[in-house]
């Protein structure tokens, strides 16, 4: 089985160097009252989880392709390559990275690239 990562219509050239795993977490909140505290538990879910994808280096072509997905400003499908799929929003600051040009080979790269996603729902229809 070949693992690939997809965001929208773009299939990644290579996986991120570091990324948040899309596993369930317990989401809770609390509010102080006059004499106690109100506690809310939304259970264990992956919905609402923020995902950070990070690359130390990325080709300018890959950066441009991912930036096109970011600029579409639409909810997209994210397939992390583990057999699951999620509907995600790209959240602020979107795609960020520093431009870096190598002098020896005349190749442009981006370094320290980060992409922030928010899982909106599990996409069970993706196959």
- Checking if the pLDDT of 102 tops 80, the result is no
38/65 Cα distance (integer angstroms): 46
pLDDT digits (tens, 9 = 90+) for 51-92: 999 999 998 899 899 999 999 999 999 999 888 999 999 998
Q: What average pLDDT score do residues 4-18 get?
A: 93
User: Per-residue DSSP letters for 66-97?
Assistant: HHHHHHT-S-EEEE-SSS--EEEEEEEEEEEE
Range of the domain at 60: 6-122
CATH number, domain containing residue 64: 2.40.30
For 19-49, write each residue's pLDDT tens digit.
Answer: 999 999 998 999 999 999 999 998 999 999 9
Q: Is residue 1 part of a domain?
A: no
Is 127 contained in some domain?
A: no
């Amino acid at each position: 089985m070949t693992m690939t990562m997809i965001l929208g219509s773009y299939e990644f050239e290579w996986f991120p160097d570091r990324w948040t795993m899309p596993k369930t977490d317990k989401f809770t909140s609390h509010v102080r009252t006059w004499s106690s505290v109100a506690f809310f538990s939304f259970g264990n879910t992956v919905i609402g989880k923020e995902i950070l994808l990070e690359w130390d280096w990325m080709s300018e072509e890959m950066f441009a392709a991912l930036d096109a997905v970011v600029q579409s400003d639409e909810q997209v499908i994210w397939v992390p390559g583990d057999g699951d799929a999620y509907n995600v929003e790209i959240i602020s600051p979107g795609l960020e990275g520093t431009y870096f040009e190598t002098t020896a080979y005349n190749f442009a790269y981006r370094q320290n690239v980060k992409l922030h996603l928010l899982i909106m729902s599990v996409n069970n229809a993706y196959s």
